[in-house]
Chain A
Amino acid sequence: MTQENRSGRPQGRPPEGDSRLSRVEAQLRGPFLLFFVSAVIWLLAASILGVVAALQQGAVAGGPFRDCEVFTFGHVASVQRNLFVYGWGFNAFFALNLWLLSQLGRFELRNGWLATLGGAVWNLALTYGVVQIFAGHQTGFGLLDFPREVGPVLAVAFLLAGFWPIVAFARRPTGHNFASQWFVVGASFAFPLTYLLAQLLVLWQPASGVVQAVAHSWFISNLLLLWVSASALAAVYYFLPKVLGRTISGYYLAPVGFWTFFLFAGWTGPAALVGGPVPLWLQSVGIVAGAMLMVPVIITAINFHGTLSSEGGWARAWNDTTLRFVSFGAIAFTLFGVLNAVFGFRGYNAVVRFTSFAAGQEQLLTYAFATMVLFGAAYFVLPRLTGSLWPSAKLVHVHFWATALGALGMLAGLLLGGWQEGKLLADSAVSLQQVVKAGSAWNFVLIISAVLLLVGHVAFALNAFGMILKSSAPASEGRHD
């Protein structure tokens, strides 16, 4: 398990040529690499914008680009969030979900050009949407910021690119099925439905009054839980037993976890509107759903942490690059569940309501959980698909430490900073100026974290692109560290 330190071979696999790819993997290599490469490019763009946004938020005078209308904070922060979710998150999960269900169902992708087309359309629509936001044509609804004509295009692209896991599941050769398959299939059904309904109710035929806001909060919770988290949970359910070579402990609970997750996740949205002019019962239902989400969270905790706890699993996870990232993510998910339940309650919610806390919770889910799991998955899948090794072990280490520390710093800045800000805001003896001053230390932490994340992502991109280029150049047999 220690080769990683020496040779940059986290998975300890000998180099193999393309001819040795299984047929399953050979078929999906093209679309997978398209999704993956575009995901990483969007991730880099989002991290650069993340640094800019952090600088702008921290600076009283406006930070960089303060005289340039196109790159004001509102544009930059919104583009950053959308690129991170739709650019990185979606492309990466298109790739991973496709790979995962093809592997589990031994599905040989035919007509892969459809997936490729979907990926191309998805990324073009995304580019158009980003340009539109920079041009000032934002809708004002978070994660639905793109002008409304982008919505249907993204939906069609999703159907082309993201529906293959369902086909792979339907065509699986045996009657058996596994937790990863349930979660991916659920996610692939849930997102397009949610997205189309949200587009309709929020942008195309805006529902009147408060219903629009309710629909928007419903969309955000579904996007983050039913698509991002469900896909990432599927990956954790796969990689833990796969890499550790043992079964999931307490696996008999997993079906309950799956159904309760899909049952309660869709109801958690209104908890974001607690304290707003939303009918009380709707707020209460959101709070209760967030608390009931503890059921699947506890079950996944028994499944994941139980599996890792037996037979020195934690030590092995630490020494394996894939599992190091994946177990980081698994812990983050448990933490998210607890925070989400506790801070839904009115008393705590009242403290953190108008602070950065909500952004911190979103980052806990989308970055510390989903993105870390995606990184771990990339370390497992890419060497198999490209048939070559990660060029540099050093960059792997830089990647892990920069992203792990960056994530922790960002979470501390947003969650602890948000809590402190909320406490001060509630104190009538403290002036707003003092509140802003007290937050400046956290802003500094956020800037450092954003830079760390950028460094980590650049290291990851260099390593990944180096490997892909090396494998696609036919005559490159030699590898150099």
Chain B
Amino acid sequence: MNDRNRHPDNNRNRRGPSGAGSDGPSDGRLVEVHSQLSRDKDEPAEGFSLTPILVVFLFCGFGFWAGLYITRNSADFSPSAFDLNAPKAAVAGGPVAFEPDAAKGEKLFLANCSACHQATGLGVPGAFPPLAKSPWVAGTEERMIKAILAGLAGEIEVNGAKYNGNMPNIGAGLKDAQIANIATYVRQAWGNSAEPVMDTKVAEIRKAIGNRGQYNPADLLKEHPLQAK
């Protein structure tokens, strides 16, 4: 405690004529006393005891906020996102500007459809109808979207072979963009060549058909007749 109250000029006038130890001791003490202070945590406890805990909480709060701020304002660390206020379209892969993506569609197809229709799109003869070169997936995209959304149940003829179809409403659990990607992939794979499908179209049809049961293939064909070859 003596050090705290000592007047500075007292140190300074104590210079010996030789100069040895003139300022050394006081600077040495300054270092030593502080070095003790940082070791003895109890020392600065005079009416100040709340500070440490408050400071710790405050700084933890800062750290927490910093994490939040960076996550929310970094556009997923994309190197090409510059402007926070720009429409999301500027951010690559954003949901606003949908680009039908057959590569994404392929992954989704393999996950959701290939169990029956097979990765080759050829189906299983006698059990599951093929999609490759199938007129059902060509032409208007609405027929196909309806089948994915609501499913099919009943006799169905594809490329001259008859199947007793029972396709569940797979699409009810998928997003518009995912269905659009799947449909795009199917319509352009295995020698198929039809227009890509937009997510807005899927949304439109999902809204139009509502929550209905599986389609009868014959009914679906009446709504959207197959294209004449």
Decide if A and B are genuine partners: yes
CB under 8 Å from chain B, chain A span 229-260: 238, 241-255
Q: A174-B32, A244-B8, A245-B8 given as contacts; is B51 within 8 A of A250 (CB)?
A: yes
CB under 8 Å from chain B, chain A span 160-194: 174, 176-179, 181
Selected from B7, B15, B35, B59, the residue in CB contact (under 8 A) with A178 is B35
Q: Are A174 and B48 in contact (CB under 8 A)?
A: no
Q: Are B6 and A245 in contact (CB under 8 A)?
A: yes
A246–B10 alpha-carbon span in the complex (Å): 13
**Which chain A residues lie closer than 8 Å to B17 at the CB level?**
20
Selected from A21, A104, A245, A346, the residue in CB contact (under 8 A) with B5 is A245
A255–B77 alpha-carbon span in the complex (Å): 32
Q: Are A23 and B19 in contact (CB under 8 A)?
A: yes
Interface string of A284-300 (1 = CB under 8 A from B): 11011001101100110
Residue B57 CB within 8 A of the other chain: no
Q: A22-B24, A177-B35, A245-B6 given as contacts; is B19 within 8 A of A280 (CB)?
A: no
Residue B23 CB within 8 A of the other chain: yes
CB under 8 Å from chain B, chain A span 94-109: 103-104, 106
**Which chain A residues lie closer than 8 Å to B21 at the CB level?**
22
Q: Are A247 and B37 in contact (CB under 8 A)?
A: yes
A299–B52 alpha-carbon span in the complex (Å): 11
A318–B150 alpha-carbon span in the complex (Å): 83
Q: Are B38 and A281 in contact (CB under 8 A)?
A: no
* Selected interface stretch from B79-87, B131-139, B210-218: B79-87
Chain B interface main SS type? helix
Q: Are A245 and B7 in contact (CB under 8 A)?
A: yes
A96–B32 alpha-carbon span in the complex (Å): 21
Q: Are A179 and B34 in contact (CB under 8 A)?
A: yes
A95–B59 alpha-carbon span in the complex (Å): 35
A276–B33 alpha-carbon span in the complex (Å): 49
Query: How far apart are A454's CB and chain B's nearest CB, in angstroms?
Result: 32
A280–B88 alpha-carbon span in the complex (Å): 13
Residue B41 CB within 8 A of the other chain: yes
Chain B interface bracket (under 10, 10 to 19, 20 to 34, 35 or more): 35 or more
CB under 8 Å from chain A, chain B span 71-120: 73-75, 77-84
Query: How far apart are A432's CB and chain B's nearest CB, in angstroms?
Result: 24
Q: Are B20 and A23 in contact (CB under 8 A)?
A: yes
Q: Are A280 and B81 in contact (CB under 8 A)?
A: yes
Number of interface residues of A (CB under 8 A): 59
Q: Are B8 and A291 in contact (CB under 8 A)?
A: no
Query: How far apart are B9's CB and chain A's nearest CB, in angstroms?
Result: 6
A61–B15 alpha-carbon span in the complex (Å): 60
- Find the B residue at minimum CB distance from A252: B38
Q: Are B73 and A284 in contact (CB under 8 A)?
A: yes
Q: Are B73 and A280 in contact (CB under 8 A)?
A: yes
CB under 8 Å from chain B, chain A span 18-37: 19-26
Q: A245-B3, A280-B74 given as contacts; is B31 within 8 A of A176 (CB)?
A: yes
* Selected interface stretch from A9-17, A116-124, A402-410: A9-17
Query: How far apart are A292's CB and chain B's nearest CB, in angstroms?
Result: 6
Q: A24-B24, A245-B8 given as contacts; is B34 within 8 A of A279 (CB)?
A: no
Residue A474 CB within 8 A of the other chain: no
Q: Are B15 and A288 in contact (CB under 8 A)?
A: no
Name the 8 nearest CB pairs between A and B, nearest first: A281-B74, A176-B35, A246-B4, A245-B8, A284-B73, A178-B31, A245-B6, A22-B22
**Interface of A toward B, CB cutoff 8 Å:** 11-14, 16, 19-26, 103-104, 106, 174, 176-179, 181, 238, 241-255, 276-281, 283-285, 287-288, 291-292, 294-295, 298-299, 302, 311, 346, 384
Q: Would you give 16 A-B contacts (Cβ < 8 Å), ordered by A?
A: A12-B12, A13-B12, A20-B17, A23-B19, A24-B23, A103-B27, A104-B27, A249-B44, A252-B41, A253-B52, A253-B55, A255-B38, A279-B77, A280-B83, A291-B65, A302-B51
